[in-house]
Structure 1
Amino acid sequence: MAKVKYYYDSDTLSYQKIKPRKGQKLKHFLLTLLAGFIFMILGFFVFTPIFESPKEKELKRELEFVKLNEELHGKKITQLDKILKELQERDNNIYRLYFEVNPIPEEQRTAGFGGINRYKALEGFDNSQMITDVTKNMDILSKQLYVQSKSLDEIVKLAEDKEKLLAAIPAIQPVKNEDLTRMASGYGWRTDPFTKARKKHWGMDFTAPRGTPVYASGDGVIERADQASAGYGKHIRVNHGFGYISLYAHLSNYNVRKGQKVKRGDLIGFVGNTGRSQAPHLHYEITKNGTKINPINFYYGNLSPEEFEAMQKAAQIEGQSLD
């Protein structure tokens, strides 16, 4: 209820009601409306940051969570990059060095990404720079990990090949020492027993009684077991792979057949005197990539240092060969 105001009339000596004019009422109404509107505007700009809506609070929490995750991802990428660098160092300076292969160049490991801007879609946001940096670092790390993974695949293959190579190399004496009468002739220039002329002797002759066991000097496949090669008589050729072939000549008999797989130390034949031979013995040769090489360098598998030294001295004597 509106308050009623009075004034004192000195003429009538009484109180009379004050009647407000219509213009004043309108003015009072408009002032009240304006004050309310101003208060509403001030409330929106001043009090809204203090009193957030549930939706705004949820979005703010999500944004803070995203920022925290980006920081954690950045730290993890730094740690992974450090681990990867150590692995790359071992890969180049230990693994690849051991297997005698070239190290991976640094520019190949750290090559960038060409072409259009890969990160254009990440631009225009409040945290675009941070997100772009993290994404770019993850891409670089992923590529380096891929290169390193391929390198380790290669190392594994080289290790497998190395193991096979070590088993395949002709590394033992084909006739046991206790079965030998003597080591008759070595690799090099010798006197031919039939023509008495000096000629190159391409293998080593092991003198032993007829029927003495002959053993494969390395893993491989029997390439030949026949007497169709002039001068060698009954002989065996073992293909060891990796370019190595060993030959066992003047045999009395075979214990293998063509195409058969053998292991180092397997019995493959017996000493004889077939072909162009002056007395029972084993003529033994090694070929590497088509070139005949001195077998004496391949006896590390079953000779002591003393036995090897004695064999070297005997092999250097330029006497007469037995074939």
Structure 2
Amino acid sequence: MNILALTIILLTIFVGSIITILSNHLILMWAGLEMSMLAIIPVLMFNSNPRSTEAATKYFLIQATASMILLLAIILNYHDLGIWQFHHNTQFYIYSLVLIALMMKLGLAPFHFWVPEVTQGVPILSGLLLLTWQKIAPLAIMFHISYYLNTTMVPLSALMSVFIGGWGGLNQTQLRKILAYSSIAHMRWMVAVTMYNPTMMLLNLVIYMFLTTSMFITVYICTSTSISSFTKMWNKSPLLISTTLIILMSLGGLPPLTGFLPKWMIIIELTKNNCIFMALSMTMMALLNFYFYTRLIYASSMTAFPTSNNMKTNTHHQNNKKHPFLSPLIIISSLALPLSPLVSSLY
């Protein structure tokens, strides 16, 4: 792809999300979502092949459907109140329509089916953009209406995402599908706490983006697409084995790593609001997520996959895929837990 065209496309993606975040006008929010959604389609089809075309088509159809539902809710709100903002007099069913549209855009259960398929069919860096930056704008709208969310739909969707994100990733062998189910599992924590403490959802989002970016960049540098190819990482990049182990344990929420901080604070917040069953379910299903992270750790760090003798010479070959931001990302992903007293004082 032409560098100028790629620059314009990426700029459109970022500007669209920023417009949604900063706007109070519903049409501008919707326009920002559409800018970001339409601009990412060429990025998903960066490698022109039938699989990426199919993934981009699935993504477009789901996102377009969600945008139509959101636009319908906006028009109905204007018909009832005559304003282009959400108001405390906005009808309950309109907030329900908005919530359904946002669940489709975020890939929350029961609208999660497109997330693993699209992530598996696109390039690794496009999948990174899909699972990180594209979550910001819908979550910003959810933050905006957090105190008017449906108190039945949100916990139900969070619980469904808990089980699907945990069980769905157990039998996966493709790394991008594992990271997609990991995204579904992390979305449940953000959605579950949004009704009670929206700013805590932002904390979880920021930490999730750091962790997922670190993992995607590691996979990109190692050129690994499946667990079987990931087991050969000791031949290609021996130093990345230990860093990958740390990132995966932090993704699983193991103390004393950074990933433990948002889970710990969200469980405390849910307990304070008498959501004991939800907190218990999310904690138990987090063990399933940690299991398939541990499986990756075991495959890459504790086993020597059978290889030919020629594979043993790969350690002498220089890896040309360098990323200057990987080191600070790993530090943030693993060593930020001592900041928890400072973070706790902000809530």
What's the TM-score once normalised by structure 2's chain length? 0.21
| Structure having the larger proportion of residues in strand | 1
| Structure having the larger proportion of residues in helix | 2
What's the TM-score once normalised by structure 1's chain length? 0.22
